[in-house]
Amino acid sequence: MHFYKRILLVSFLFFSSQVMKSQIGIDFIANKNKFASWNDVIYEYSDNQDKIFEYSFGGGINYWFRLRDFRLEFTPGVYYLYSDFKLNDVNRHFKYISHVIGIEFDANVYPFDFIRRTYERDCPTFSNGNDWLKKSFFVQFSPGIFGVAREIQDAPEKVSVKNIAGKFDFGIGVDMKLTRHIIVAPIIKYGIDIGDKWDGFSEFHSQNSFNDGTSNSYLSLTLAFYLK
């Protein structure tokens, strides 16, 4: 037992010694979603062939820090996403609302510039010539958990849900130093949600309850600003 404690202590001290700089980040997020099972339910229930919660928009705040000797950066943070969907048939006029609040643990790896000791002096800018892409390109991995609150407005009965689920996405981005104190990073990612469920959703739409749970795959575009 003492051996494992020593390993944990050494790992913590090593990680702490590597952390060099921290700063606050602000994210603007746009997602294109595909709720597979819920789309099937809507298609069977209505002549409206639009996809439920196809787009979501929001933002987040994160705490950015990186290692001193390696281009491995972390941006743990919180985010919020809003989405809605309108079903307009001859006899049905419902509005579906979705609120998502989540926590994510982003890790950015710079594969072409992983061992770097002069990041502050050579921070990526548009004027760095051939080295710009090498210094600024990164791969992001982002696991997280989120809570949802959804409801169907104007329905004859209340159909709402509060649930907790998980997500994992990964993608690529580039960071660029706009000013001495502002770094901007566009990031494009692909991800999946895990364990998302809306009890009563299928029954409300005259379908079997096994469609209450759904897979969601999404394409995400994030514009991140890091403030030193």
**pLDDT tens-digit map of 137-191:** 999 999 999 999 999 988 788 889 999 999 999 999 998 888 878 889 999 999 9
Work out the mean pLDDT of the chain and round it to a whole number. Answer: 83
Q: How many domains does the chain have?
A: 1
- Give the per-residue pLDDT at 22: 56
Judged against a pLDDT cut of 60, whether residue 6 lies above it is answered with no
pTM recorded for the entire structure: 0.81
- Residue 135 within a domain: no
**pLDDT tens-digit map of 62-84:** 988 877 777 888 889 999 999 99
- Residue 172 within a domain: yes
- Give the per-residue pLDDT at 13: 45
Judged against a pLDDT cut of 80, whether residue 7 lies above it is answered with no
- Residue 53 within a domain: yes
- Residue 15 within a domain: no
- Residue 35 within a domain: yes
- Residue 11 within a domain: no
- Give the per-residue pLDDT at 99: 97
Closest Cα to residue 58, out of 82, 26, 24? 82
- Residue 203 within a domain: yes
Residue 83, domain CATH = 2.40.160
* Contact yes or no for 148/165 (Cβ under 8 A): yes
- Residue 12 within a domain: no
Range of the domain at 39: 24-68+76-105+144-227
**pLDDT tens-digit map of 94-130:** 899 999 999 999 999 998 877 765 544 445 444 455 5
Cα of 176 vs its chain's centroid, Å = 20
